[in-house]
Amino acid sequence: MKGLSPGFITYFCSGIVIAIPLALAMVFINPVFGLLMVGVYYSWCFFLWDHLRLLRQRELGSALRLALASGLPIDRVLTPEIPTKTLWSWGERAILWVVPFPFFRPIWDMRYGYSALRKRAADLYLAGRVEEALALPGLICRDDLFDIRVGLASPDRADLNERDDLDLVPRLMTLVPGLFYPLLVLILVVVVTLFWSVLVAPKIARIFLEFNVPLPALTQWVLAWANSVLAGILPILLVTGAILMAAYYESPLRWWLPGLKGIFGTHGRGLILSALGHLVNQAMPLDKAIAWLLTAKAADGTGTRRLKRLARFLDSGMDTSKALYQSGLVRQSEAAWLATTPASGRFGSALAELGQSLQALALRRLERRSIIVATLGTVVVGLVVATTVLAIFTPLIELITWLTP
């Protein structure tokens, strides 16, 4: 299956135009501060663009569910709307020529943006390749893709509109911005502190040296901290950026990273188990249910590998509950519980219930950890701002005190 895959020339041109603001900032401002400022700008653009992507995916997913549940053709849903020619629309197009990088609209957005992806999906649907159209990477989020895939196998298409309360993406769209803004404030404060420590603090230190008086202890501590941050700024940015991208973007790393595994890994397992349970309840054998999900490419890389492993274990004749455990989709205690359900004919219902309980558990963990992180983030931002302000202005106040008769 092919989506919209940019070629080497596109990546090369994008890399050049992305490097232009970076090079100008590093030459005319400062190598370190130029890198920080452009990095913060591109990080903000990435967050904003990815948040808009999630919004568009949710809108399209809801429209697809409604159309499929009503038995309507989905080509008109997939086809992007032609924007009305208003002053606002022309302003949006003009902005896309320079944000997030110069010539973004002709190089990337017009050829590989979300509207182009929807047009590609509509063309595939009209060509009779429905499964390939819905499974285009980035078209709809995985929550919707799982639900649509399960609903397509159901004789009652009304099932397409269920299970929306357990979706992860709406919670992310609500909670993540609240975590991102304190982080942005913290980054800006750190940038200001580094700027002051490199360009202003040495001049103040020389004045104190002329008076043969040491700098205030708090100022010395902030300067030592700033120097240590400058020494390790690139590794810190790379690690932090990788964690945030893995958390917000649909990356298989979310199944393994500490702190994220309990949320995204649990929710991913819940999605797969819930979908398998609903398919089994519709009299579909488990092996065909696995193939049905694999064909739709609903799961990410880690989920797909576990589904393939489960299919391989089942083909070898392994017991179903043991195969689920060996594939990594259930824990040992969950497998022991599932092993008791086939005799009562509730295996499909048990799978669906287990999947939904795992999804609900992941959402509760996300909310709890978001509250903890937001609270700690607010406290940390307050402490950093207060410490920075005191460290910057205390030497100035002492200088004014000495110079004032």
Do 190 and 316 belong together in one domain? yes
CA gap 34, 27 in Å, rounded: 8
Do 121 and 175 belong together in one domain? no
Residue 365 lies in a domain: yes
Do 171 and 50 belong together in one domain? no
Do 200 and 78 belong together in one domain? no
Residue where a domain stops, chosen among 140, 164, 197: 140
Residue where a domain stops, chosen among 124, 140, 156: 140
Do 238 and 381 belong together in one domain? yes
Do the Cβ atoms of 39 and 237 come closer than 8 Å?
Answer: yes
Residue 20 lies in a domain: yes
Do 277 and 154 belong together in one domain? yes
Which residues span the domain enclosing 30? 9-140
Residue where a domain stops, chosen among 104, 122, 140: 140
pLDDT (tens, 9 = 90+) of the chain, 405 residues, equals 445 677 778 778 888 888 888 788 878 777 777 777 787 788 778 777 777 888 888 888 888 888 877 777 787 888 887 767 777 777 777 887 877 877 888 888 888 888 888 888 888 888 888 878 888 888 888 878 887 877 777 666 655 655 567 777 777 777 777 777 777 777 778 778 878 887 888 888 888 888 788 888 888 888 888 777 766 665 766 677 667 666 666 666 777 777 778 888 898 899 899 989 988 988 889 999 999 888 877 787 788 899 999 999 999 999 999 999 999 999 999 999 999 888 788 898 999 899 999 999 999 998 898 888 888 888 888 888 888 888 888 888 888 887 776
Do 297 and 151 belong together in one domain? yes
Do 176 and 301 belong together in one domain? yes
Do 197 and 223 belong together in one domain? yes
Do 14 and 122 belong together in one domain? yes
Query: How many structural domains is the chain composed of?
Result: 2
Residue 1 lies in a domain: no
Other CB atoms within a 10 A radius of the CB of residue 48 amount to 14
Do 121 and 251 belong together in one domain? no
Residue 4 lies in a domain: no
Residue 2 lies in a domain: no
Do 219 and 291 belong together in one domain? yes
